[in-house]
């Protein structure tokens, strides 16, 4: 499961969805003031520097304010978090709890990274309203979480395992939930959370507003959604294909050990003025940054383990031109909004083909030519390359005139995987 739907399939499962183009590529003409949001939330949004809603925000916020259920086919990077967080914050702000707070909104998400990001969104957008939230995930001491649950708050962002664990211990009461968000549903199912989801659903009261977001809409998600959404608004956000066309794409086949040398050689060339290099893992981003720095290349890493200060410093340097190369993981890169990126490098090929489209959309903005260079070491990454080519409907041109070209890294045409399984992302 997990492959993006083809046109016919999509029409079958998602017949009346509004198809939208995703955030960075297709800004809305509406402003946030047009969406019915109250002043303190508008202030929060403006404090984030957002001027226009993304398509999913424009489409989803008004119906969500009117208490509709929502089925959103959208991946991260589209602005979906604000699309659900803002209306929920507004409902909670307009109808505050009297007395002790209790969990009125549950956001269920597969990974701790995503949970932490969603919490951050609630903090940022909800800065000027009196709504309290808490994030709960496994792998850390449960005591502070239990203490917070005792004290009471309005919005709980949680991963399923720890949530059910604490619920089993009698620390979590979900009987007052009015808003339920199931985020990254396809990834949840891939990670084997279906039984946990069903258990959580049983703990919720009948009468509530439901939102489900998924990057893909395979049968299993459609069935799951049918089980608990009522007459949902369906919104589908797809990257605009012309973005792909505006970018000159290249792939270079190179062994894993030579990738960093090849990258450094290209970065030192005259045409690369400002570039973003994508790695799969935070550790990989750190290591590569150090290696580039050793070669005298001004590079900085940006990922979820960096403090907000370190991220801001790196971004400011990148904007100002003192840092020419940002080495980023996908999740961290979503916050990067810089024009004039001459090159995007896929140092590692993303597992999810849609992520490739998002990555290369970082260059070639505003009608300028951009170049996206993918370094392919074969193996798994070769399969991922073929999946990308299936998604974008064309083969990425191969460049062989470099000293590290390695024929053995070229995957068979069409790839050996074929199934399109989605493995968990690095973050």
Which residues in this chain contact ligand AMP in the complex, by CB under 6 A? Answer: 50, 52-54, 57, 76-82, 334-335
CA-based radius of gyration for the chain: 22
Closer to ligand AMP at the Cβ: 386 or 422? 422
Q: Nearest-CA neighbor of 88 among 74, 73, 75, 70?
A: 70
Query: How many other CB atoms are found less than 10 A from the CB of residue 313?
Result: 15
Stated length of the chain: 427
Q: Which of 270, 250, 265 is nearest to 345 (CA)?
A: 250
Two tokens at 344?
């995007």
CB of 361 to ligand AMP, least distance (A): 12
Helix (H, G, I), strand (E, B) or coil at 202: helix
CB of 337 to ligand AMP, least distance (A): 7
Rounded to the nearest whole angstrom, what is the least distance from the CB of residue 121 to ligand AMP in the complex?
7
Q: Is 416 helix (H, G, I), strand (E, B) or coil?
A: coil
Q: How far is the CB of 320 from ligand AMP (least distance, A)?
A: 20
Least distance to ligand AMP from the beta carbon of 111, Å?
Answer: 13
For residue 276, the SS3 value is strand
Q: Which of 19, 9, 58, 64 is nearest to 221 (CA)?
A: 9
Q: Which is nearer to ligand AMP, 54 or 214 (CB)?
A: 54
If residue 387 lies in a helix (H) or strand (E), which one and from where to where? helix 379-392
Cβ nearer to ligand AMP, comparing 82 with 266 = 82
Rank residues 31 and 220 by Cβ distance to ligand AMP and give the closer one: 31
Kindly state the smallest distance separating residue 139's Cβ from ligand AMP, in Å. 22
What 301-304 contacts at long range (C-beta under 8 Å, 24+ apart), as own/partner pairs, is 301/326, 301/327, 301/328, 302/326, 302/327, 302/328, 302/329, 302/332, 302/333, 302/336, 303/328, 303/329, 303/331, 303/332, 303/427, 304/113, 304/116, 304/329, 304/331, 304/332, 304/427
What's the closest the beta carbon of residue 225 comes to ligand AMP, in angstroms? 19
Closest to ligand AMP by CB, 74 or 103: 74
8 Å CB contact between 162 and 138 = yes
Q: Which is nearer to ligand AMP, 47 or 147 (CB)?
A: 47
Task: Give me the residue whose beta carbon is nearest to ligand AMP.
Answer: 81
Cβ proximity to ligand AMP, 107 vs 225, nearer residue: 107
Minimum separation from the CB atom of position 63 to ligand AMP (A): 17
Helical H segments across 247-352, by residue range: 256-267, 282-294, 308-320, 330-333
Which residue number, 213 or 253, has a Cβ lying nearer to ligand AMP? 213
């Amino acid at each position: 499961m997990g492959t993006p739907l083809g046109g016919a399939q999509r029409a079958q499962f998602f017949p009346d969805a509004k198809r939208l183009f995703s955030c960075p590529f297709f800004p809305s003409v509406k402003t946030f003031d047009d969406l019915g949001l109250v002043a303190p939330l508008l202030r929060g949004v403006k404090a984030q520097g957002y001027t226009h809603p993304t398509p999913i925000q424009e489409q989803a916020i008004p119906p969500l304010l009117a208490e509709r259920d929502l089925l959103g086919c959208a991946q991260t990077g589209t602005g979906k978090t604000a699309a659900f967080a803002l209306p929920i914050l507004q409902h909670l702000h307009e109808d505050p709890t009297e007395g002790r707070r209790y969990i009125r909104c549950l956001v269920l998400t597969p990974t701790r990274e995503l949970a932490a990001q969603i919490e951050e969104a609630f903090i940022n957008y909800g800065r000027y309203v009196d709504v309290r939230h808490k994030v709960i995930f496994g792998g850390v001491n449960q005591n502070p979480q239990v203490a917070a649950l005792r004290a009471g708050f309005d919005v709980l962002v949680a991963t399923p395992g720890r949530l059910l664990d604490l619920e089993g211990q009698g620390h979590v009461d979900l009987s007052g939930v009015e808003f339920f968000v199931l985020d990254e549903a396809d990834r949840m199912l891939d990670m084997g959370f279906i039984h946990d989801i069903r258990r959580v659903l049983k703990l919720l009261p009948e009468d509530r507003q439901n939102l489900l977001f998924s990057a893909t809409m395979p049968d299993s998600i459609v069935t799951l959604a049918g089980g608990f959404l009522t007459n949902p608004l369906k919104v589908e956000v797809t990257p605009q294909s012309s973005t792909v066309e505006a970018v000159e794409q290249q792939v270079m086949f190179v062994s894993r050990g030579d990738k960093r040398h090849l990258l450094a050689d290209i970065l030192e060339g005259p045409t690369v003025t400002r570039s973003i290099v994508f790695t799969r893992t935070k550790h990989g981003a750190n290591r590569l940054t150090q290696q580039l720095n050793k070669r005298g290349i001004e590079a900085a890493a940006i990922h979820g383990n960096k403090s907000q200060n370190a991220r801001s410093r790196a971004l400011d340097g990148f904007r100002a031109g003192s840092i020419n190369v940002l080495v980023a993981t996908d999740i961290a890169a979503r916050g990067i909004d810089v024009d004039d990126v001459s090159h995007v490098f896929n140092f590692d090929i993303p597992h999810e083909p849609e992520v490739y489209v998002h990555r290369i959309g970082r260059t070639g903005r505003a009608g300028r030519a951009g170049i996206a260079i993918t370094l392919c070491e074969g193996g798994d990454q070769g399969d991922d390359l073929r999946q990308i080519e299936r998604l974008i409907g064309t083969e990425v041109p191969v460049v062989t005139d470099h000293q590290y070209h390695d024929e053995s890294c070229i995957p068979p045409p069409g790839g050996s995987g074929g199934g399109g399984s989605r493995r968990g992302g690095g973050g």
